[in-house]
Each structure stands twice: as structure tokens, then as C-alpha cells.
A and B are shown apart, each in its own frame.
Chain A
Amino acid sequence: MSGFLEGRSAIVTGAGQGVGRGIALALAGAGANVVIAARRAETGEPVAEEIRDRDGSALCVQTDVTVRADVEAAVAATVERFGGLEIMVHNAFGGRAGRSHRLEDVDDGMWRGFSRTAVWGSFYCAQLAFPHLRAAGRRGRLVLVTSPAGIEGSANIPIYAPVKAAQRAMTKSLAREWAEHGITVNCIAPVAETPALLGAFEANPDLRERVTARVPLGRIGDAERDIGSVVVFLAGDGSSYVTGQTVVCDGGSFTGL
């Protein structure tokens, strides 16, 4: 397989399904060596297998992003296997994201469920990838996957918004902090067909129509072709002068930036 990310290595967290899987497939399609960092090997291994079946290069490392040592091990495995780490993509989110709740009912345990994967996971991924991204010089990339809810707020899942917003601010601050090393730091805010969304559609047949009706492009994004392709751009040389930004990949619903 050849592509403009040939010879570069990427970690994608939460790559066992949904958006993360789409990003991993797209990066591998562009020639990158991809580490599938999935909380469960039984979802991560098939994605690595799928990439290898397409003649790509992939490795699955079981990783819980809320555990520092796990992220450390994923980074070490990447460097050992592929000789470096140029692209870190933190996508994992395990915080019962779809469950609606009332802000007045939120307790510490519920908060931590959202905070640990999104924000602490970003902290670990950024901090532990940093020495390698710095060594990669102008090819170093950090991409955090946030959400339109992190910009607009959310009436249904109110505490999803602050943790996703925190990732946007981290992106802006790290873009400024790491600029001297040539590392770029960006966010994407996707709306895509994920197992969670498809499950919600199954449970509520009207929902697909209502969600799609809000999207000017008239369809819900495909994780590989519509979302992964944007990450491929952010991971490559063509985006070297783009940093601190959020690319909203949602078919045109949110236009407030």
C-alpha cells in the first residue's frame, strides 16, 4: 500500500468501533502504520485484521485511556514496533454518552465517567505522546475528537458538553505551547454513523429522519469516508500550517465558528 502517510505511525484510541474505526481505516489507507488502541481486544483485533486484509499495517494494543500505564504501554508498543510515533488521535469516549440526564442529578461518579475518558484521556495521550511527536518534528500531530455539543452545549446530555469543550481548549493551548516544535494540534467535531447512533435509530425509528433533517447535506457521516478523511488531512503535510482549530464534520449543521 502506498500513500502520503507512508512511513508514519499513528495511535487511534477507541478504534474498535465507530468513528475511531473509521479514522484508523482511513489513516491506514493513506499508508500510515496504525495502532488500534481499543479498550477491548475483541473489538480492536478485528479492525487491525481488516486493515491487514487491505494490505495495510496495523497492531491492536488493548488500552484503557483512563489508565495512564495503558496509554504509556500503547505508546511504547508503537515506537517499538514501528520505530516512532508521529500521529496521536484520541477518540475514545466511554462515558455513557447517549444517556440523557438532568444537571441537578449529576453526582461525582457520573461526572468522572465523562471526565476520565474525554479529559484525563486527552491529558495522558498528549503528555505521553509528546516526546515522540517532538522527535517527529514538523510531522508531529495530535488530533482530539470532540463534538458539536462541546461548542453548543446540550440539553439532553449536559455534562457531555463541558468535557468535550475542555478538549477544544486543550487543543488551542497545546497548539500554542507546541508550535515551537512544529507539532500541530487540532480537533474534529464529527457527526457520524456509530454503533451508538445506529442503536438509537433502531430503538426509535423516527430519530434517523429527525437527525438527518437537521443535516444540510442530507445524510449522516460515514466514519471512514467522511470523518477519517478529514483526520488524514490533519495528519499529513498539507495541514502543516493549520493548528489550534476545530474542524466540524457534520454535514453543515453547525456553522457557528
Chain B
Amino acid sequence: MTGADQALGRGLAVALGRAGADVGLLAGDLDEIAGAAADVEDVGARATRLAAVFETRPEVEAVFVEAARALGPVDIVVHTAVDPVAVESAPLADLDEDRWEAIWEGTMRSSLLCCQAAFTQMAGRGGRIIFSTPTVSMSGAAGLVAYTAAVEGQRLLAKSAARQWGSQGITVNCVAPAPAAGGVDETGGRAHLPLNPPPLGGPGDPETDLGPVVVFLASDAGHFVTGATISLDGGVWMAP
């Protein structure tokens, strides 16, 4: 579980732990995931904390090897990590190259490295890769051009990976939480997000509302679902 230092990753980790998975918790700062580890252990699963910054392939591959050494073969990778810089709202006219690099390239680099390291662990054995891709990439959002580009990039990386790695028994899917559940500030309506209220309420609790769907995708029951995006926003975004 990447992004285990955020509410979304922490909640999904607990849901997976409750379903019987041992969970490797990844974040930049180990101190920030002590609480998540305790939560996972409280529901009877094993947890291990791993520091990861997703900059280079050898580093990410090594973290995944470390996870396998601690907990056994890696069967499920859930990538929820998001750089807080990425979800800060700013008009395109004000974005400089460094910011574009950090948001677009940073998000895509971590996603690609995560996929590749997952593939190394799962090749020939099968597995599950699940991305969190907030619905803003499908709706678009003013002030979030670079971030929505990156999220849609993740969503299509997942589809390509699903097409290419399906023969290896690897499924790759996305769950799309409400923007607020994914850490996005909705900027008081200036983002011009869809106005529909969530029929089921929102934004949803990561562990109890979103967790069961991630558990399903990660389980044997989800074996025939790949390349899909499941909206988990309480019913705001209903396309297609």
C-alpha cells in the first residue's frame, strides 16, 4: 500500500488487513505510518513499514523485495500515493516548468515504477494492481490541469498494463474516489466540478465505504475484471 500516510491509503490498508492480507505500508517517512501499522495489526494482520520515495527503479524494486522478504510474495499492490503539491489548485497560466515536472512527471514516474516493480514480483505468478484515480480526471477541474492530466495518465497506464500483462494472470484496475477522499481540495466550486450531489452521501469512508471494493478487486472473485475504473464517490460521477 503506497500512500499509507494518508487517510485513503490507511483506510484501504485496514480493509485489506481485515480481509486477511498482510500489508506492507509504504511512505516517505516511517514515522507517518506508525498509526496505520498499528491499525492493521489491530485487525489481526501483519504489517511492515517501508520507506519509499519512488524516484528510481532500483530503489522501488528493492522496496518491493523487502516487502516480500518481510511478508511473503507480493500478490496485491495498491498505489494511492499522491504528492500534496499535485493537488494544490493553480491556473495553467501560473504553472512553471518545475511545478509541471513535479506534478505530471512525478506522478507518472511513481506510477510506472510501482507497476514495473509489481510486475517483477508477479510475473508468471499473477497478481493484482490497483490505482486510486480520483474522479477529477474524468470530469476535469479548473485549477488542476497538471494533476488531472497525471491521474488520467495513471488510468490509461493501468489499461495498457491490463492489456499487456493479462496473459500473466495480472489484473490492473482503478478505483475512483470522490475528489475530497483523494485529497483534492474542491476549491469552493471554482473547479467547476459536476454539481450532482452524491446520492449515497460523500465523500465516503476509506475503510468501510471504499475498502470493500478494493478487497473485491484484490480477491479471487475479482479475477475477471481488468482495465476497469470503478467510481467510488457515492454516485456523483456516473459515466459511462
Contacts and interface: CB of A to CB of B under 8 A. Distances in A.
B157 interface: yes
B164 to A, nearest CB: 5
B155 to A, nearest CB: 6
A34 B100 CA distance: 29
B140 A127 contact: no
Nearest to A160: B160
A163 B104 CA distance: 10
A179 B192 CA distance: 10
B163 interface: yes
Decide if the interface of chain B is mainly helix, strand, loop or mixed: helix
Interface of B: 57, 91-93, 95, 97, 100, 104-105, 108-109, 112, 115-116, 119-120, 123, 137-146, 148-165, 191-192, 227, 240
B93 A162 contact: no
Interface residues of A, number: 46
Please give me the 6 A-B residue pairs with the lowest Cβ-Cβ distance, nearest first.
A172-B140, A153-B159, A158-B160, A169-B152, A165-B156, A177-B142
B144 A173 contact: yes
Interface in A192-236: none
B184 to A, nearest CB: 12
Contacts of A103: 112, 115-116, 119, 160-161, 164-165
B240 A166 contact: no
A174 B144 CA distance: 9
Contact of B160 (A154, A172, A244): A154
A162 B119 contact: no
Nearest to A157: B160
Given A119-B149, A153-B156, 18 more contacts: A103-B112, A103-B116, A103-B164, A111-B109, A119-B104, A120-B100, A123-B92, A127-B95, A153-B227, A161-B157, A166-B153, A169-B137, A169-B148, A172-B148, A173-B144, A174-B140, A256-B240, A257-B240
B149 A158 contact: no
Contacts of A150: 156
A53 interface: no
Contacts of B93: 127, 130-131
A21 interface: no
18 contacts: A111-B108, A119-B104, A123-B92, A123-B104, A126-B145, A154-B163, A155-B160, A159-B157, A161-B156, A162-B153, A164-B156, A165-B152, A169-B149, A173-B141, A173-B143, A173-B144, A173-B149, A176-B140
Contacts of B152: 162, 165-166, 168-169
Nearest to A150: B156
A81 B102 CA distance: 36
Nearest to A155: B163
Contacts of A161: 156-157, 159-160
Given A106-B112, A153-B163, A165 B191 contact: no
Interface in A125-149: 126-127, 130-131
Contacts of A173: 140-145, 148-149
